[in-house]
Chains A and B, each alone.
Chain A
Amino acid sequence: MAYSGWRIIREALTGNAGWRPVWRDPEPKSEYDIVIIGGGGHGLATAYYLAKEHGARSVAVLEKGYLGGGNVGRNTTIVRANYFLPGNSEFYSHSLKLWEGLEQDLNYNVMHSQRGLINLFHSDGQRDAFARRGNAMINQGDDAVLLDREGVRKHLPYLDFEQGRFPIYGGLYHPRGGTARHDAVAWGYARAADRRGVDLVQNCEVTGIDVEGGRVTGVQTTRGAIKAKKVGIVVAGRSSQVAEMAGLRLPIESHVLQAFVTEGLKPCIDQVVSFGMGHFYISQSDKGGLVFGGDLDFYASYAARGNLPRVEHVMEAAMTLMPMIGQAKVLRSWGGIMDMTPDGSPIIDRTPVEGLYLDAGWCYGGFKAVPGSGFAFAHLIAQDRPHESAARMRLDRFATGRGLMDEEGTGAQHNLH
């Protein structure tokens, strides 16, 4: 049943008794044309676009826990297209365009809010770098405005403009950047995929990948063996373990990233803001909580919880940038497992095993990529050739050194991104 304003009014007048579960809970079949491993944002979007764009009729998403229980429900929800390098630039630009039509496409309110994103800079060198990035964004067809200090003050009067250690020189303003409701993105794709006949199988952990003569033939799961002609791995922080089931070793190291939210407050932070000197970024959720975070903890970890030094660092950065935040109480903090690649950019590619495809390495920035990645990965699986928006997301770029996408310019090496 489609959602509409009229439907909400009708349900309100009839005791909300008419709402039904919005996707089925099917038993896994013994065989599918295409099996997607991982029911996070990327896996669900992939299944949806396989059905919608490529007419795939026999698709299952296998999720070891519940849909949206991974990083898609743990992130700080920032959606942007402010990348610099070829490869990332066209990919995230395409993804943002998909975001802009997503709610109509899915018939689901994902609360996509293009409230604008401002990346602050604090030195002449940083200003130059951001001016260059802004030009790259404009060349890609996206939006960027270089703000001076007074321009920033108009938008963000609450920042500490007086402090001398990290003076605010200005900011790169990306008006189409913003946030979205993370859970709703998972639910919206799940519902839309289910309605197109995709089987969403929860509590179904993949424990093995069957390969015969160099070709994938299916998967082993905690709910039995499932045959498949094609298999897509989309398991974010667990990519190395699942790929190992097919004998593959990936250029990925899993790290923990923490995030924080305060108690609910009245609206006070209108945009997404990032601090250029302290690895800190913040926005306000629609519920009123200030949602913020910083850097990785910077050691390999699967613990999904971080350590105190990073907490301290993030709080210090927050207080440096906007002392008013000291009035708010932190409600919760949590961590998620990031699939970090050496250059900090993702992989959407075939693997050496025929019929086995990989979508991984989203690091700490894969939420905004959900529509673009699902679209491109579905195209790769269905057509066996990359979509033009993701042709550079190659698995072999580390071995060849060609086409590295090192946005930070720190080197394509583990632990530097």
Chain B
Amino acid sequence: MRLPCPHCGERDLREFTYKGADLPLPEGPDWGPDWEAYLHLRRNPAGETRDLWYHGPCGSWLSVTRNTATHAVAESRPAREPGS
């Protein structure tokens, strides 16, 4: 598997670390169903998903749209700032 980095081009999987589902941060610091969903619950689709990857060589966090059944990558872009 190879992943495209917007800064470095298509690179080998070995250079990346998977950081889990790309989900919007809940508003406010108080524990509630939104935090439970953010931390634990997953749609976990057998198909298109969006997850976060860290590219070691350039140090950037990426938001990658990917198919979990075929491993085909549709989009890779810099991850947004938390909360934005």
- Please report A residues at the B interface, Cβ cutoff 8 Å: 238, 240-241, 244, 249-254, 298-303, 307-309, 342, 398-399, 413-415
Q: Complex Cα distance A8/B37, Å?
A: 56
Chain B residue contacts of A251, Cβ below 8 A: 40-42
Q: Complex Cα distance A301/B71, Å?
A: 8
Q: Complex Cα distance A244/B41, Å?
A: 12
Q: Which of B13, B40, B43 counts the most A-chain CB atoms under 10 A from its CB?
A: B40
Given contacts A240-B45, A241-B44, A302-B69, 11 further A-B contacts (CB under 8 A): A238-B46, A249-B41, A250-B41, A252-B42, A253-B21, A300-B21, A308-B13, A309-B14, A398-B39, A398-B40, A414-B42
Q: Which residue of B lies closest to A398 (CB)?
A: B40
- Please report B residues at the A interface, Cβ cutoff 8 Å: 1, 12-14, 18-21, 33, 36-37, 39-46, 49, 51, 68-71
Whether the Cβ atoms of B41 and A302 lie closer than 8 Å is no
Chain A residue contacts of B12, Cβ below 8 A: 309
Q: Complex Cα distance A385/B23, Å?
A: 35
Q: How far is the CB of B24 from chain A (nearest CB, A)?
A: 15
Interface of A is mostly: mixed
- Can you list 12 A-B contacts with CB-CB less than 8 angstroms, sorted by A residue number? A240-B42, A240-B45, A250-B41, A300-B21, A300-B49, A302-B46, A307-B1, A309-B12, A342-B39, A398-B39, A399-B33, A413-B39
Whether the Cβ atoms of B40 and A300 lie closer than 8 Å is no
Chain B residue contacts of A309, Cβ below 8 A: 12-14
Q: Which residue of A lies closest to B71 (CB)?
A: A303
Query: Which residue of A240, A299, A302, A399 contacts B40 across the interface (Cβ within 8 Å)?
Result: A399
Q: Which residue of A lies closest to B19 (CB)?
A: A415
Chain B residue contacts of A303, Cβ below 8 A: 68-71
**Given contacts A249-B37, A309-B13, A413-B39, A300 and B1 within 8 Å (CB-CB):** no
Chain A residue contacts of B40, Cβ below 8 A: 251, 342, 398-399, 414
Interface of B is mostly: mixed
Chain A residue contacts of B33, Cβ below 8 A: 399
Whether the Cβ atoms of A249 and B43 lie closer than 8 Å is yes
Q: How far is the CB of A114 from chain B (nearest CB, A)?
A: 36
Whether the Cβ atoms of B42 and A415 lie closer than 8 Å is no
Chain A residue contacts of B43, Cβ below 8 A: 240, 244, 249
Closest 9 CB pairs of A and B: A240-B44, A251-B40, A299-B18, A302-B46, A398-B40, A249-B41, A399-B36, A302-B69, A307-B1
Chain A residue contacts of B42, Cβ below 8 A: 240, 249-253, 414
Q: Complex Cα distance A301/B46, Å?
A: 8
Q: Which of A244, A249, A302 counts the most B-chain CB atoms under 10 A from its CB?
A: A302
Q: How far is the CB of B16 from chain A (nearest CB, A)?
A: 9
**Given contacts A249-B37, A301-B71, A307 and B13 within 8 Å (CB-CB):** yes
Whether the Cβ atoms of A302 and B36 lie closer than 8 Å is no
Q: Complex Cα distance A308/B68, Å?
A: 17
Chain A residue contacts of B71, Cβ below 8 A: 301, 303
Chain B residue contacts of A253, Cβ below 8 A: 20-21, 42, 44
Q: How far is the CB of A18 from chain B (nearest CB, A)?
A: 44
Q: Which residue of A lies closest to B3 (CB)?
A: A299
Q: Complex Cα distance A307/B44, Å?
A: 20
Q: Which of B12, B21, B37, B44 counts the most A-chain CB atoms under 10 A from its CB?
A: B44
Chain B residue contacts of A238, Cβ below 8 A: 46
Q: Complex Cα distance A367/B14, Å?
A: 30
Q: Which residue of B lies closest to A240 (CB)?
A: B44
Q: How far is the CB of B47 from chain A (nearest CB, A)?
A: 8
Chain A residue contacts of B18, Cβ below 8 A: 298-300, 415
